[in-house]
Amino acid sequence: MSVARAYDALRESLVGRVRTDEPMSRHTTFRIGGPADLFIVCDTVADVSQTLGTLGEEDVPFTVLGKGSNVLVADEGYRGAVITLGRDFRKHGIDGDEMRCGAGVTLAGVVRDAYSKGLKGYEFGVGVPGTVGGALAMNAGSRDEWIGSVVESVTVYQQGEGLVRLRGDEITWGYRRSDLGDRGIVLECCLRAEEADRDVIRAAMEAGFSRRKRTQPLSQPSAGSVFKNPEGRSAAHMIETLGAKGLRVGGAMVSEVHANFIVNVGDATASDVAYLIEAIRTAVRDAYDVGLETEVRYLGPFATP
Ligand SMILES: Cc1cc2nc3c(=O)[nH]c(=O)nc-3n(C[C@H](O)[C@H](O)[C@H](O)COP(=O)(O)OP(=O)(O)OC[C@H]3O[C@@H](n4cnc5c(N)ncnc54)[C@H](O)[C@@H]3O)c2cc1C
C-alpha cells in the first residue's frame, strides 16, 4: 500500500480537499480519535470515482464518514483513507411524492423540511445527529421506527461498477443495521414524501424532542447509545441497576443521565472508552447472562473488542 503515492495523485485533482494525518477527534461527536493517513472530501461523483480508483491502484483501505456520531476511532487513528461527502451531496428537495436527499445532508435538515412541508414518516429522526448516508448505513431511528421504512431507493457507488440504484426492498434493514455499508458508498436516496396533518406531525416531533432533552446528556460529547437493546430488554436499565452510572475510566464516564451513554468528560481516549465498554459488557454478562452488542462502530486498531 502506498499512501504517499495516493496522496500525490489525488491532491493534483482534488485541490485542497485531501489532507494527511488528519486528527479524527475533529470529525467525531465523541471528540476522540487519532489521525487518519488521508482525509478526503469528495464534492462530486467524479471525485468519488477518481478517489476510489486511486485508492484501489495504491491498495489503500478506505472508509466513509458522515458526521462521526456513531463511531469510536482508535487513539492510533486509521491506517488508510477516510472519505467524506461534500458539496454535491449536501442538497435535498421534494420531487413529486419523493424527498431526494444527498447522503451528506444532515438528517436534522431533512426532518425540519419534512415538518415544514407537512410530511409524515420522519418523526423517528428528531434529534438524531448525523448525515442521511450515516442514517441509511445504520438504519437510524427509534426502537420501532427507522429510516429504512421510508426509503424508496438508494444510489451507491461501487468500486468497479460505478453508480448502482437499489430499491428500498432490495436492501436488508434490521435494528441499527443495513447491508448498505457492504454495498458501496451511499451517495443519494429517495424517501417517501406523504402529506399529513401538520399539527399531528408537530406534536409527535415535539414529544420526541422533549423526551430526548429530558433523558439524554445532550451537552456532553458522546456517540449516543453505546449498546443495542437486546430483544425485549433495555441495555440502559440493566446497566443502571448495576449501579454503573457515573463509573469512570480516565476521561470516559457512564452518563449520570442515561446509563447507555458514555460521555467524554475531558480528554477521554478511545482506550478509556473501549475499556469502559468492556467492563460494562462483562458486568452485564455476569449479572444477567446477556451479551451486549455495541451499536457504536469501531474504526482503527483496538486491543479489547
Ligand atoms: C446524542 C446522540 C443521540 C443519538 N441518538 C440516536 C437515535 O436516537 N437513533 C439512532 O439510530 N442513532 C442515534 N445516534 C447515533 C448516530 O447519530 C446515528 O447512527 C447516525 O445515523 C450516524 O450518522 P453519521 O453521519 O454521524 O454516521 P457516522 O457515525 O459518520 O458513520 C456511521 C457508520 O455509517 C457509515 N457511513 C456513513 N456515511 C456513509 C455513506 N455515505 N455510505 C456508506 N456508509 C456510510 C460509516 O462508515 C459508519 O460505519 C445518536 C448519536 C448521538 C451523539
Please report the pLDDT score of residue 144 as a whole number: 78
The CATH-assigned architecture of domain 3-87 is 2-Layer Sandwich (3.30)
Residue 64, amino acid: V
Give distance in angstroms: CA of 67 to centre of ligand 1.
7
| Catalytic residue, candidates 25, 69, 225, 271 | 225
Task: Provide block-wise average pLDDT over 10 residues at a time, the chain (305 residues).
Answer: 93 88 98 98 96 96 98 98 98 92 97 91 94 98 91 95 97 96 97 92 91 96 98 97 98 98 97 98 98 98 75
- Cα 25 to Cα 65, 72, 74, 154, distances in angstroms: 12, 9, 10, 29
In the chain, CATH 3.30.465.10 sits at 90-201
Bridge partner residues of 72 (DSSP): 298
Bridge partner residues of 94 (DSSP): 99
Question: Which has the closest alpha carbon to 301: 33, 66, 56?
Answer: 33
C-alpha cell of 85?
461527502
Q: Is 173 helix (H, G, I), strand (E, B) or coil?
A: strand
Please report the pLDDT score of residue 50 as a whole number: 95
C-alpha cell of 305?
473488542
Secondary structure letter of residue 230 according to DSSP: P
Domain 90-201 has CATH 3.40.50.10860: no
- DSSP letters for 210-248: HHHHHHS-TTS---SBSBPPPTTS-HHHHHHHTT-TT-E
C-alpha cell of 88?
454535491
Residue 295 is among the residues annotated as catalytic for this protein: yes
| Catalytic residue, candidates 176, 178, 222, 271 | 176
In the chain, CATH 3.30.43.10 sits at 3-87
Bridge partner residues of 261 (DSSP): 225
pLDDT, tens digit, 9 for 90 and up, residues 84-134: 999 999 999 998 889 999 999 999 999 999 999 999 999 999 999 999 999
Contact 131 CB / ligand 1 (< 6 Å):
yes
C-beta neighbour count of 231 within 10 angstroms: 7
In the chain, CATH 3.90.78.10 sits at 218-299
C-alpha cell of 33?
480519535
* pTM for this model (two decimals): 0.97
The CATH-assigned architecture of domain 218-299 is Alpha-Beta Complex (3.90)
Please report the pLDDT score of residue 304 as a whole number: 56
pLDDT, tens digit, 9 for 90 and up, residues 251-275: 999 999 999 999 999 999 999 999 9
